[in-house]
Amino acid sequence: MSESLLSSVSEHDIDTLEDILFEDEFAEDALDFFGVHGLVCACVVGPVDISDREITDAVFNSHTEISPAKIAEANTIITKLRNSISAELSAGRTLELPIYDAEEEYYEEALTNWCAGFVEGFLDHEDKWFSRSHELVAELLLPIMSLSQLFNDEDFSEINNNEKIMEQFQEQLPELMTDLFLFFHSDKK
């Protein structure tokens, strides 16, 4: 992770968030930290201004079993994460994603989970994402959608079986965050 992201979201924060995410109530459908990071990235770069609480609600998929104290703690960490990502992109820096060490044992799983989290954030407001330029946004989202492994149709299958294209998609992810952020937010400055 980048130094500025680490300075505001500590390893303790990440561990605390994952402890909450992996409680028994969520074992089956919980996002891990990588998935949460992807979902938060989608909320930051996307066209819809989503509150921190809405992001937290999306992370927990309306599970009501979790204690309000743990929800509040998770919301605080998610807010820190969102602010860090937003600050990086607003400052014109390329966002360093928490998945970039291909030598790590769980790299592929982390990459897939990050992309799946991003796709979840995008799908929550799909119509708004495509309202300006369907073709350009689809082109920018293609690498993330392919890497998420969520789509099984023939077109994605062909792409997903091409190792060279998939490697290129992996390398493009940080720049795609910048491109999407600028596309949706450059006129707001």
* pLDDT grade for 6, boundaries at 50, 70 and 90: very low
* For residue 120, pLDDT beyond 50: yes
Specify the pLDDT at position 24: 67
Kindly report, residue by residue over 125-175, the tens digit of the pLDDT: 999 999 989 999 999 999 999 999 999 888 898 999 999 999 999 999 999
**DSSP assignment of 152-178:** -SHHHHHHHT-HHHHHHHHHHHHHHHH
C-beta of residue 9 within 8 angstroms of C-beta of residue 37: no
Q: Residues 47-66, buried b or exposed e (16+ Cβ, 10 A)?
A: beebebeebbebbbeeeeee
- Tell me the residue range of the domain where 60 lies: 3-188
Query: Rounded to an integer, what distance in angstroms lies between the CA atom of residue 47 and that of residue 49?
Result: 7
pTM of the model: 0.90
Specify the pLDDT at position 152: 85
As for how many domains the chain has, the answer is 1
Task: Give the pLDDT mean for 49-72.
Answer: 84
Domain of 14, CATH number, reads 1.20.120
* pLDDT grade for 65, boundaries at 50, 70 and 90: confident
* pLDDT grade for 76, boundaries at 50, 70 and 90: very high
